[in-house]
Amino acid sequence: MFQTLKIYFDFCNNENRKKLQTAMLLGVLKAMCAAFRIPAIAVVLHGILNNNMSMRNVWLSFGIMIISIVGQVLVGLKTTMLQCEGGYNTCCAKRVEIAEHLRYLPMGFFNANSLGRITSITTNTMEMLADVATLVIMITTQGIITTGVIFVCMLFFDLRIAMILLAGTCLFSFFNTMMQKATKPAAPRKSRADESLVAAVIEYIQGIAEVKNFNLTDKTAKKLEGAINEKRAADTKLEFTVIPFMFLQGLTTKLTGVLMVLASVYFCINGSMPLLYAILMIISSFMVYESLDLMGGFSALMRNVNIVVSQANEVLAIPPMDIDGEEITPSAMDIELKHVSFAYEDKTIIDDVSIKIPANTTTAIVGPSGGGKTTLTSLMARFWDVASGEVLLGGRNVKDYSFDSLMKNFSFVFQKVYLFGDTIANNIRFGEPDASMERVMEAAKKARCHDFIMSLPDGYDTVIGEGGASLSGGEKQRISIARAILKDAPIIILDEATANIDPENEAELSKAIAELTQNKTIIMIAHRLKTVRGADQILVVANGRITQKGTHAELMKEDGIYKDFVSERKEAVSWKIA
């Protein structure tokens, strides 16, 4: 239990740790105020038992009781405020810390870890931290403190009763420790079940259109049902593990109280304890029972504190990319790769690639699917770190740049566009949060999306669904281009930006891309012949290597992948329905 407390306090930052520690210290004062009930009752009992009850006794007892009650209320209010601030602020700070940490993790983390796990940690786990962990910690510590204060008071009245309380508390702690050990194997299963359920729900909702379209409702529902059943089984297993120890803790608490009462009565009868002390010990036994019983009810959740902290720390412990470089403004926007190799999970993706991309030129990258085209552009922007070789921007290794100063030089337009559940204006200014509305509209006009935005009910203030679900593919693509235009980065990477666009949107999208790419260094991954033909250089990537390099005219003079690529596209264009 004390180890869990240490883990939790180490997890909090200094400011929130101090608030929670102050709340614990105030808990001692609160326990002392609660203990004042004992002398308040003692004053009355002393008067009754000695037949000298007077108004002085009554008012003295009343005054002590008022101090006890008011003190508990005021101290309890401050303690609760500190608990809430410390707990919720820790949750907030850790969410921000995890989000910032995720920014600088290599992309491999997101490929190897499901969306469900990340979502579960940043939502369920952190919510448990705020709502459950802090409450459990504070109630448990308050129970320990209250029991400790009553124990100290008993030492002044009767050492024998104090020893009974100490023995009962030690036995209670033993069963609690055994419970924590017993739940340790079951806790990871529950954690995995939580993550799997979140992942299954997200997958089911995001793919609901495909599920209905291909009549896979039963199959997909079974997968979701399996995740729900596993969650139920994991929770049940954990509860069944806890129940026996909860019973033993409760039994220990009750027996401790009963023994304290019986011992007090026995000592009083044999004359070794005054009647006044016996009555006070009996009252104290009920106070101890209340304290230990409350603590026991929440102690089973102590394991959740370990789970919460360990899950968050697992993410924070993943080594980020080395982002602490210099704030560099490159002297030129040329890119060079020197003998670059890259592997993912022991599979070589890029193998000894050396290329030069001069500033203000257009480089097209073509090749078969899975050949390494997207990975190559990701290495240029340092979404990944190379295994060997180096990537240079303006003659400087990209690792010399701080990550933020490097990202200022790149804008991306991907085949799959993601828009946030916010206004269209805020989606456009995503990379420039302080951009004026005039600049947003200017970028939208250049991206050829101003007209359709103005036709929407609230124009630029129209809130679009998460992922841009309320817009067509071409509309989403043009908004992403407007976003890139507003950022005005000198290097543009286009990854299959026009691959899935319908003919009606293609003309507008081509004009938008032309506006975006004026006087820029352009790197495009493309499968369409007309977007490749005019490039200053064409790189053919296959099996992680540059197999061909040159202009369209040069590559058409030699046999190889590119010539076959062009022939296939020409044949596809000439194909007609009879």
**171-224 pLDDT tens trace:** 888 888 888 777 777 777 777 787 777 777 776 776 666 555 555 556 667 777
Same domain as 347, residue 310: no
What is the percent of the chain where pLDDT is above 90?
Answer: 3
Q: Answer whether residue 539 is part of any domain.
A: yes
Mark whether 106 and 245 lie in a shared domain: yes
- Token pair of 8, please? 């939790």
Q: Which of 371, 330, 336 is nearest to 354 (CA)?
A: 336
Question: Model confidence over 481-537: pLDDT tens digits?
Answer: 888 888 888 888 888 765 555 555 666 667 777 777 778 888 888 766 677 777 889
- Does 449 reside within a domain? no
Residue 401 confidence (pLDDT) above 50: yes
State whether 304 and 348 are in the same domain.
no
Q: How far is CA 180 from the centre of its chain?
A: 25
Domain-embedded: residue 514: no
Alpha helices in 36-54 (DSSP H): 37-49
CATH number assigned to the domain comprising residue 150: 1.20.1560.10
Pairwise CA distance, residues 171 & 250, whole Å = 11
Please indicate, yes or no, whether residues 350 and 307 belong to a single structural domain of this protein: no
Does a structural domain hold residue 527? no
In terms of domains, do 301 and 381 share one?
Answer: no
- What percent of the chain is modeled with pLDDT above 70? 86
Diameter over CA atoms, the chain: 121
Considering the domain architecture, whether residues 554 and 405 belong to the same structural domain is answered as yes
| 297 in the same domain as 390 | no
Domain identity same for 102 and 251: yes
pLDDT bin (cut points 50, 70, 90) of residue 339 is very high
Each residue's pLDDT tens digit, 262-309 = 988 888 888 888 888 888 888 888 877 777 777 776 666 666 677 777
Q: Are residues 98 and 205 in the same domain?
A: yes
Task: Tell me, yes or no, whether 112 and 51 share the same domain.
Answer: yes
- The answer as to whether 427 is a domain residue is no
Q: What is the CATH number of the domain that holds 348?
A: 3.40.50.300
Stated as kind and residue range, the H or E segment containing 72 is helix 55-103
Quick one: tokens of 296?
């026991």
In this predicted structure, the answer to whether residue 391 has a pLDDT above a threshold of 50 is yes
> End-to-end alpha-carbon separation of the chain, Å?
79
Establish how many alpha carbons lie within 13 A of residue 147's alpha carbon, considering only the half-sphere containing its beta carbon. 28
Residue length, the chain? 578
172 and 115 assigned to the same domain: yes
- Count CB atoms within 10 A of the CB of residue 117: 21
If one counts the domains in the chain, the total is: 2
Mean pLDDT of the chain: 79
Containing structural domain, residue 179: 2-316
pLDDT in tens, 75-109: 888 888 887 888 788 888 888 888 888 877 776 66
Residue 524 lies in a domain: no
In a domain, 261, yes or no: yes
Single out the residue in 281, 316, 351 at which a domain terminates: 316
User: Quick one: 38 and 155 in the same domain?
Assistant: yes
Residue 576 has what pLDDT? 47
Q: Do the domain assignments include residue 36?
A: yes
Radius of gyration of the chain (CA): 35
Is residue 144 over pLDDT 50? yes
Euclidean distance between CA atoms 546 and 354, whole angstroms:
8
Q: What is the mean pLDDT of residues 226-231?
A: 83
